[in-house]
Structure 1
Amino acid sequence: MLSMQSISSSDAWSSLATNQEFWSSLAQTLLPPYVNTCRWFAGKARQQTGFSAKSVHTLPLSDGDRAYLLILEALYADGIPENYLLPLSFVADHTAHSLPFQLADVPGKGRVGEVTIGGQTGILIDAIYDERFRQALFTAIGQSQTYPQPDGQITFLRGKGLDENEGQLPSQVLPVDSSNSAMTFGDKYFLKLYRKLFSETNPEVDMVAFLTDIGNFDHIPAFGGSIVWQHDNTPDITLGMMQRMVQNDKDSWAQTGDYLNDFLYAVPQRLFAIREDVFEKVELLGRRTGEMHCALYKPDAEAAFAPEPFTDEYREFLIRRFEDLLDRRYALLIDNYTKLDPQAQRLAWVFMEAKEIIDTFIADFRTRPFGSQRIRIHGDYHLGQVLATENDFVLIDFEGEPESSITDRKIKHSPLKDVAGMIRSYHYAVSAKLFNSAETEDLDPVHLQRVSDRWFYLIRDTFVDAYLDTFGTPHPLFKNNNEINFLLLIYLLEKAVYELGYEISYRPSWVKIPLKGIIDVVREIEKIRLSEGNLTPDVPLLQTGLLQDKPS
């Protein structure tokens, strides 16, 4: 929505970069009401104490005009400030008709406010809606341009995914509102501008660039280039990334749901049917996942990507995070126990009774020797992060765990953490389909659980076997099968306990899904204890008898 406030400057638009009075006035008048209407601004719910223009960068346009990349600092009553990217163009009233885009096509959310600059009245717009600005970004990436600024430099880096001698392509802004802004160039390239900025490089850009340019991994939208703000004695700040566009049918969550429909319709007839092409797709995804991790395993890579051992520091990081998560989930479960259905209550009780088993498992992880290695991984891997093309898969969204800090998203893990994420995703797919469909609402929940378990275990084993076959043995990432099994249980348990919090808070009827996942892991932990002769007398066995229906 266009602000009713207006500011002016006697300087020409081309001379405003260093006019601190103008930017300060803009940050105090037009920008606060405007920014608070933007989907990408994450500070709406916080008590704001003001905005300031932290830095202003100049980007020349092809017609001799310029746009500005404003780094806007949002200040709050509590907590640290946040920095946002706001690119700006000025459209003077008397020149609007001669521009290569129509001002009428700029939506309300792209109109910052009315201004008078250098004696000319006009409107400030978010520059992503300016065709000249979009072409300037595309050209600068293609030419690997660097533009010096009063505060460092804006560097455009070209990636292998951008074709040589690529000419101008028609561009448009994607209409989807999100935390970032997206533009397309022809039907070939996708450019994302990051709005909320972090004081280090974006992990998604690091990962996509490494997989494309170093790992030569073909099953991601290839890295076309990036936009980086570099300034002295501070980490580089990523402003944007370009990738190849991928034509896809749907994501793998939706595809798996389609495959499950056939299975679902057979269940009431007491038939168990999985089509052969389902196994083929699962095997293919297992291979692609393994190939991704092989591409990330580069012993001679720079420090940010070089493999590392299981250090004491890493173990303590993982244990500290998991124990805190576990304590919060126990408390949440106790507070909400009476809201759960009988089956979920029985699972919850077994989980709470298994606390000593889990504590012993964590203690074992703290001291157990590991010869396996850790690398950078996807970090938020599930079926929704995989696009299904006609005959293959494309892996997307490498930003990492949404609730983790940028630094934590760059921590190296065993690639089995990604495997655990996909296994949990398959478990969700079958459980959600069978327990939330009209076709099965009259069936015994215990029978449904058995049927869903059979489907899940077959799919899980198919995925994991295909994944591990990709590496061959021995491989430095995995010392042996015992370590693979142990580490996979660590990550599966962490993932299922994490999921439990969301379901308790937002979907109580789904709580049984992560609880069942937790119980499955504890069963496997118990098998390890029995096989290794590590049974501790004062740690009870898993109380699976509690899962049985009590006679009325």
Structure 2
Amino acid sequence: MFDSTASNLTSQQSWANLMQDHDAIRLLETTVLPPYLNSCRWFAGKARQQAYFRVQFAHEIPYRADAETSDQAFLVIVEVGYADGETESYLLPLSFVERAQPEIPPKGILTTALFDQKPGRIVDAIYDERFRRALYFNLVHQETLTQQSGQLRFHRGRGLAADDIDAEVSSRVLPVDSSNSALVFGISSQGEKYFLKLYRKLFQETNPEVELVSFLTEKSNFDHIPAYAGSVVWEQETGADVTLGMMQRMVENRHDSWNQTGDDLNDFLYAVPNRLFSVKEEVFERVELLGRRTGQMHLALYNSDPDEAAFAPEPFSDEYREFIIQRFENLLERRYNLLIDNYVKLDPLAQRLAWVFMEAKEMIDEFVDDFRNRPLESLRIRIHGDYHLGQVLVTGKDFIIIDFEGEPESSIAERKIKHSPLKDVAGMIRSYHYAVSAKLFGSTETAGIEPDHLQRVSERWFKLIRDTYLDAYLETIGSPHPLFKNNSEVNFLLLVYLLEKAVYELGYEISYRPAWVKIPLKGIMDVIREIEKIRIADPTRDSELPLLQVGLLQSKKE
């Protein structure tokens, strides 16, 4: 744990003039920031060799005149340099809290300090109520604060009720450790109503989550998201906008759909040892509803308004196809190498699946060529981008979709690329496959059952759920619809994204959960079998590739 007493920062200046004291800034950069950031869950550079920490910018957020003291916070942009690779920028709001002020949790204290002979502590400002109050005030009044470098612009969204603009608010820090920080605001007599997410790792572009959530709130009737209530944007002099935070309406929820699906699977799990197959009707009803909500989300994101170019549908261009193919082929090569290097560590079922996967390399290459050259009239739009059961909250008998930031390992530019909405669908289908596989293969109730039998049982459950979800989704989209040319293109594109997703998953499981490698491998196998069916059914295809070696999938006992 970070020891906030290990250093003491002293300045003859007042806190408001911190940036004028170069010695204090140098001490902050060399002695205080390195250990503190490395203690924070949201700092992603822990595993890299760090070269320097630099206070790149410090934006001023004045506290309201009626606060206990007429003071301010700094929205500090910390640049972190590394021995190799690109630098990163992080948002660290700082406040000076005198010792007589309310207690700050230890994880929020950077160092003890003395400013203009006033003793106190430099803290992460999210733990200072004055800062939280200033954020809310500036946002609801749509303030613009001029800075030495650009300006901070506070936007108010449709999700913020007019009656709450001048309301008295309470606030707290949501006690979760994640890649961002969340502040909760309550309105007197109404309880907690809004949460504001501060983005810690910053990018030189508008965050895709803000774009998507604000678009869905302001431009559509899709209300199964936490409504957009506002955002904080740093408008740089260069013209580039950096998103610092977003506020949304709070929603009551019991848990996410991953946990709900786990609960639904319990009855199924307990029946398996007795060779019973049992799925309650309400499970299918929930899956069907999620399929409908997914379709409604994509219909809301489909926008043909010429004034909304960022959300206008686009065709499957050659440039887009090459982007997907290059990314997939690089991914595929790395996964083949990982499997070869770790083959002996896999269990027998995973080894058999891995062998057939590697034997099918030429068939996969041929499928990739089909994607490169096949005429496609379906369209691409902005999508959720990281869609799975953990991104769906259960609220009574309905769902709320959250977290539109996109794939964590992708750049901001890549997260904004338009895809077929079937990429989201593939993500959810893979999530259902994980849910049942993890439950059956990881439970004590099924520990004594043959893996091959568990595989068959889990596949039966998965296929029923997959078809229920997909049927409800496609029925909601409707046919014909410009997003999808026909069923043939739907089936083909879904295979593209399912294969990409399962191959992506494979790398994580090999590296961190070898016992789970069979899950993405089975997903890959399902796609390969469908690819083979397409090849066999096409009388015009001139291919001498051998058929899948499915006999290798059988255990010796069979």
The TM tier, using the shorter chain, reads: over 0.9
1:299 aligns with 2:304: yes
Report if aligned partners of 2:392, 2:401 keep a CA contact under 8 Å in 1. Answer: yes
- Listed as ranges, the matches of 1:122-521 within 5 Å are 122-166=120-164, 167-186=167-186, 187-300=192-305, 302-521=308-527
What is the Cα deviation at residue 551 of structure 1? Answer: 6.1
Structure 1 unaligned segments of length 5 or more: list them: none
Deviation, 1:45, is: 2.7
Cα distance in 2 between the residues matched to 1:439 and 1:37: 39
TM-score scaled by length of structure 1: 0.95
Aligned length: 544
What is aligned with 1:119?
117
Q: Are 1:156 and 1:225, in contact at CA under 8 Å, matched by a contact in 2? A: yes
Q: Deviations over 1:50-80 (max 9, x none)?
A: 2222111111111332111111112222222
Partner SS state of residue 542, structure 1: coil
Relative to structure 1, is the Cα distance of residues 343 and 31 closer, same or farther in structure 2, using a 3 angstrom cutoff? closer
Task: Answer whether contact 1:157 1:227 (CA < 8 A) is retained.
Answer: yes
2:548 corresponds to 1:542: yes
Is 1:23 equivalent to 2:29 in the alignment?
A: no
CA distance in 2, matches of 1:4, 1:516: 52
2:11–2:21: 8 Å Cα contact kept in structure 1?
no
Moved over 4 A (4+): 17-22
Task: Report SS of the residue matched to 1:279.
Answer: helix
How much has 1:3 moved relative to structure 2?
Answer: 4.1
Query: Matched residues in 2 for 1:28 and 1:443: separation?
Result: 57
Question: Per the alignment, do residues 267 and 46 of structure 1 end up closer, same or farther by CA in structure 2, a change over 3 Å counting?
Answer: closer
Structure 1 residue identity aligned to 2:216? L
- Structure 2 residues without counterparts, runs of 5 or longer: 187-191
Instruction: Please tell me whether the aligned partners of residues 291 and 472 of structure 2 are also in contact (alpha carbons under 8 angstroms).
Output: yes
Residue 84 of structure 1 corresponds to which residue in structure 2? Answer: 90
Q: Is the 8 A contact 2:253 2:394 kept in 1?
A: yes
Separation in structure 1 between the aligned mates of residue 523 and residue 335 of structure 2, nearest angstrom: 14
What CA distance in whole angstroms lies between the structure 1 residues aligned with 2:521 and 2:497?
A: 15
CA distance in 2, matches of 1:249, 1:24: 47
Cα displacement string for residues 412-454 of structure 1 (whole angstroms, at most 9, x for unaligned residues): 1100000001111111111222222222233333332222221
Amino acid at match of 1:119: Q
TM-superposed CA distance for 1:322, in Å, is: 0.5
Give 2:81's aligned residue. 75
After superposition, give the CA deviation of every residue in 1:109-145 in whole Å (9 maximum; x if it has no partner): 2112232223323222211111111011011111111
1:405, 1:238 → 2: CA distance? 14
Q: Aligned-pair distance for 1:548? A: 2.0
Of residues 521, 527, 531, the one that matches 2:537 is: 531
Paired residues of 1:17 and 1:57 also in contact (CA < 8 A) = no
Q: Any idea what SS the aligned residue of 2:152 has?
A: strand
Amino acid across the alignment from 2:4: L
RMSD between aligned residues = 1.7
Specify whether residues 486 and 175 from structure 1 end up closer, same or farther in structure 2 by C-alpha distance, changes over 3 A only. Answer: same
Distance 1:33 1:450, change over 3 A: closer
Is this contact kept in 2: 1:172–1:185, CA < 8 A? yes
Greater shift, 285-294 or 39-48, is seen at 39-48
Q: Which amino acid aligns with 1:217?
A: F
Q: Please, what TM-score do these two structures have when normalized by structure 2?
A: 0.94
For 1:146-191, what per-residue CA distance to the aligned partner results, in whole angstroms no more than 9, with x for missing partners? 1011100001111111111311221111222222211111211111
Identity of paired residues, percent?
A: 65
Letter in structure 1 aligned against 2:213: V
After TM superposition, give the deviation of residue 17 of structure 1 in Å.
Answer: 4.9
Once residues 356 and 59 of structure 1 are traced to their aligned partners in structure 2, the CA distance between those partners, rounded to angstroms, is 59
Q: Kindly tell me: are residues 254 and 92 of structure 1, through their superposed partners in 2, closer, same or farther at Cα, counting changes over 3 Å?
A: closer
